[in-house]
Chain A
Amino acid sequence: MAEMTLIKKGAEAELYRGRWQGFDVIFKRRIRKPYRNHDLDSYIRTSRTSLEAKLLSESKRLRVPTPIVYFVDLDKTEIIMSYIPGLPLKKMMPTMDETSIKQFFVKIGKMVGRLHRGGIVHGDLTTSNMIVKDGSVFFIDFGLGEYTLDLEARGVDVHLMRRTLESSHHEVSKIAYNSFISGYSRVMGDETEEVLRRVGEIRRRGRYVEGER
């Protein structure tokens, strides 16, 4: 067995860093949740592992940087993928000035636009799931992603991006979100308006929203 160090115990998976076939890799292993019904748990872990591996590879084809998938082990519900030597955007944001925040979020908006155009939604667009390396942004953790051209799913994706900015980076959330939308619309073109209208609807659907916010 390859040598592995636990680097992150996330909500649904454990991430180990190690060497595999001469590569610097991440082992993403979905762990059994003792609090979850056994059948439900197995189903969720297997289906998410297999789907995530596909989405990671497919995204690259849409010119969205993601880790390279080397191996998928469905019995262990594990994905072996390349390690990205960078920092999560969440950690970098506080040190960034307005100009680079704008640049980054225009770029991120374009990436999300390319995913949506290509029939993929990420499903968990938080700044912890974006790794910055040499000025490039890598999307990781497609565990909640899906193949869909559905307006609702696209809307939820954008809604989550906005919510993450508001909850974790609210002092720059407006600038970041506006830049995100400007990048997104450059790829999505006329479809942008429809998505944004849905984002507004999703926001109002939260049961207690006062007026338009």
Chain B
Amino acid sequence: MSSVQHVLGIECTAHTFGCGVVSSEGTVLSNSKAEYVPKTGGIHPREASQHHAAKASATIRDALKEAGLRLSDVDAVAFSAGPGLGPCLRTGATVARMLSLLSGKPLVPVNHCIAHIEVGRMVTREEDPLVVYVSGGNTIVSAFSDGRYRIFGETLDIALGNCLDSFARSLGLGHPGVPKLESLANEGHSFIPLPYVVKGQDVSYSGLLTMAVRKIEESDPRDLSLSLLEVAYGMLAEVTERALAHTEKPSLLLTGGVARSPRLQRILESVCQEHSSRFYVVPPDLAGDNGGMIAWAGYLALKEDLTVPIETSYIRPKWRLDEVEVPWRR
């Protein structure tokens, strides 16, 4: 029996049903996904979960085929146990439990936020970065300290991606919102004042969204998009810069779906230059929600025997990043 292990990971917290396979050497062997796109409005949890249930088996089959493995070849099944939308989490957990029963391999619950961070550390090989994790559901500035990822700053209400996507929908830009918003903003010229809300180390985006939406009627959408992005990213840059100064970490890692934003990357890179810190971005295919990252975080947890019996493999919709012990980094 070879010493290389393989872990299969199931991601199912929101829009994406993902299945990925990683090896213990830190290689993503496959990373399949199916994305739920709402016909109108934002994500509908029940519809999303039905979408995921329908796409699960094909996605898993693709992932195993691409990895060149059978289900019996994997050493563990990891799944995102939270945080996320309840109906989606339940679907993902059900699928993972079944795979664990079929294969007889242990089940490993993974915190979704931890997975975003750990896959970033894996690909960048950066030991101890300050982490900026931005997506549709999360906006977190975090650093590792004494056994856990501590939260140095976060949103007090809605997430950055949620704010930008909602605004993009109000403009009728459709899905995916952020890239379309950014190309529109590239044509903007004048700055429209919008509420810039930084409270200590935390940011608040809900008032910004409300005001931006309210100004749609009276403003040039290009200028408004430019201004919204400047304010939203500027707020994040400010708390990031302060966390960098406070924690004195040698580098910054940008992860999560919104990490794909070229404009945000430029801004945070500039922050890093001012503090002589190295800047890393998770590659695009691992930035958004995906099964590969769950598999990798699952492998790290498996090494510490953090498996769970099927009977108690509960989902945790409100599982905070800073509640999770991280023994593999002690």
Interface residues of A (CB under 8 A from B): 9-12, 33-40, 43-44, 123-126, 128, 144, 156-157, 160, 163, 166-168, 170, 202, 205-210
Contact between chains at A40 and B150 (CB < 8 Å): no
- Interface residues of chain B: helix, strand, loop or mixed (majority): mixed
Stretch at the interface among B120-128, B242-250, B287-295: B242-250
B156 pairs with A209, CB closer than 8 A: no
B residues 145-181 with Cβ under 8 Å of A?
145-146, 150-152, 154-159
Q: Which residues of B contact A (CB under 8 A)?
A: 82-83, 137-138, 145-146, 150-152, 154-159, 191, 193, 196, 198-202, 226-227, 230-231, 234, 237-238, 241-242, 244-246, 266-267, 270-271, 274-275, 316-321, 323
Nearest CB of B to A204, in Å: 9
B288 to chain A, nearest CB (A): 18
B159 contacts A123, C-beta separation under 8 Å = no
Q: Is the CB of B319 within 8 A of A210?
A: yes
Contact of A208 among B242, B245, B319 (CB under 8 A): B319
Distance (Å) between the CB of A81 and the closest chain B CB? 20
Contacting residues, chain A, for B266 (C-beta < 8 A):
35
Q: Nearest A residue to B156 by beta-carbon distance?
A: A205
Given contacts A11-B245, A35-B271, A166-B150, contact A40 B196 (CB under 8 A): yes
Q: Please measure, in the bound complex, the distance between the C-alpha atom of A43 and the C-alpha atom of B231, giving whole angstroms.
A: 12
B185–chain A nearest beta-carbon distance, Å: 11
CB–CB B201/A12 < 8 A = no
B193 touches A43 (CB 8 A): yes
A160 touches B150 (CB 8 A): no
C-alpha gap A21/B137 in the complex (Å)? 53
C-alpha gap A194/B276 in the complex (Å): 44
Minimal beta-carbon separation of A125 from chain B (angstroms):
7
Contact assessment for B323 and A39 in the assembled complex, using a CB-CB cutoff below 8 Å? no
Known: A35-B270, A205-B157, A208-B318. A11 touches B241 (CB 8 A): yes
**Contact present for A36 and B234 (CB under 8 Å):** yes
Question: Is A35 a contact partner of B201 (Cβ separation < 8 A)?
Answer: no
CB-CB under 8 A for A206 and B154, given A11-B245, A126-B246, A160-B199: yes
Closest to A31 in B: B274
Give Cα A10–Cα B271 distance, bound, in whole angstroms: 12
Contact A125–B320 (Cβ < 8 Å):
no
CA distance A168 to B318 in the complex (A): 23
| Contact yes or no, A40 B230, CB < 8 A | yes
Decide: A167 and B199 in contact? CB cutoff 8 A: no
Q: Which of B150, B226, B237, B323 contacts A167 (CB 8 A)?
A: B150
Q: If the complex has contacts A11-B238, A35-B271, are A163 and B201 also in contact, measured as CB distance less than 8 A?
A: yes
B151 touches A210 (CB 8 A): no
Give the distance to chain B from A33, nearest Cβ to Cβ, in Å: 8
A11 touching B242 by the CB < 8 A rule? yes
Assuming A12-B242, A37-B230, A160-B199, what are 13 further A-B pairs, CB within 8 angstroms?
A9-B245, A11-B245, A34-B270, A35-B234, A40-B230, A123-B199, A124-B200, A125-B200, A163-B151, A167-B151, A206-B154, A207-B83, A210-B318
